[in-house]
């Protein structure tokens, strides 16, 4: 197994925007375990996922609104690093209100970057979307140099935010990293959410509910376990070595039908499928080339697709309440 050396916090403070979400909660735990002081920024009344960190002296919960300049400025105060995991829209619904998508995500991030430069932030890490910024693939696997032609507002705004990160680096020497994630899954992911095929399908199989599939199930995606995503986020905190944008995925593709077959094998249950008309914004295949992250970050995924689903299913068996959320 690859030996990965992660930076130690030594009391430095990280702001995690969206720290009570699926990926954010795992990231907060990992940062605390490595000695960082963590300020978790989240909307008020968001139900926490997984373990509560309120008793940890290095943990601070800050409830605020990402679209509020005052809230963002206060949250960034005295922070050394920032992880930007906030998004107010979803790929499948973003086209219905692109103005809201731009105003809440792009404009909100520009305000964040303005205050990051004023606070002399050491580095900011942004979670982008490897599944939407590229659009229909010209070649597979998709490298970071692949043309970017997103077919939904969600992908367009992610790409615009990436460009503003680059602009602020050029103008103010603000160090940054952009991680274009594949499709993360794993423990803590909500099974009744409106996205995340692995979590939704696994939850339905375990509950004995039918599964609706858009198209014939041949759509191929790159799935990565959340622990591997967190590893990449931790490694990204180191000073950049000239590279800023990285694909983070497994480097392997699985069709929806293959996802279901693996879930059936793990759960030892048969799934009931209902196929319906394909959606226009679903590109037929998306598999990421991860060689740049392997070379520049020293990162590689450690959890196989089968092992990740097995871990997720076992976790749900021990946390039955998540089958209802």
Catalytic residues: 154
The C-alpha torsion from 324 through 16 and 158 to 163, rounded to 10°, is -170
* CB-neighbour burial class of residue 306 (10 A; exposed 0-12, middle 13-18, buried 19+): exposed
Task: Give the C-alpha separation, 296 to 244, whole Å.
Answer: 10
Peptide bond into 141 cis (omega under 30): yes
Residue 180 token pair: 């274009």
């Amino acid at each position: 197994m690859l030996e990965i050396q992660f930076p130690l916090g030594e009391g430095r403070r990280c702001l995690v925007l969206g720290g009570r979400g699926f990926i954010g909660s795992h990231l907060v735990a990992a940062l605390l375990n490595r000695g960082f002081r963590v300020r978790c920024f989240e909307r008020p009344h968001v139900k926490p996922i997984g373990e509560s960190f309120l008793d940890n002296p290095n943990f601070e919960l800050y409830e605020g609104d990402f679209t509020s300049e005052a809230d963002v400025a206060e949250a960034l105060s005295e922070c050394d690093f920032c992880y930007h995991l906030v998004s107010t829209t979803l790929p499948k619904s973003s086209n219905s209100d692109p103005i809201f998508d731009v105003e809440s995500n792009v404009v909100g991030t520009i305000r964040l970057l303005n205050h990051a430069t004023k606070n002399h932030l050491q580095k900011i890490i942004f979670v982008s979307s490897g599944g939407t910024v590229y659009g229909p693939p010209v070649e597979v696997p998709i490298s970071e140099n692949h043309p970017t032609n997103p077919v939904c507002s969600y992908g367009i705004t992610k790409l615009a935010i990436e460009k503003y990160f680059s602009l602020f680096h050029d103008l103010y020497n603000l160090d940054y990293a952009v991680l274009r994630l594949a499709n993360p899954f794993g423990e803590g992911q909500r099974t009744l959410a409106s996205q995340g095929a692995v979590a939704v399908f696994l939850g339905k199989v375990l509950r004995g509910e039918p599964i609706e599939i858009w198209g014939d199930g041949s759509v191929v995606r790159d799935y990565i376990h959340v622990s591997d995503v967190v590893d990449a986020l931790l490694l990204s905190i180191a000073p950049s070595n000239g590279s800023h944008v990285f694909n983070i995925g497994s480097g392997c593709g699985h069709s929806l039908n293959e996802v279901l077959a693996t879930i059936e094998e793990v759960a030892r249950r048969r799934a009931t499928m209902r196929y319906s008309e394909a959606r226009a914004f679903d590109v037929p295949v998306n598999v990421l080339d991860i060689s740049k992250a392997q070379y520049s970050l020293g990162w590689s995924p450690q959890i196989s697709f089968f092992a990740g689903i097995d871990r997720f299913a076992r976790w749900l068996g021990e946390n039955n309440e998540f089958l209802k959320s």
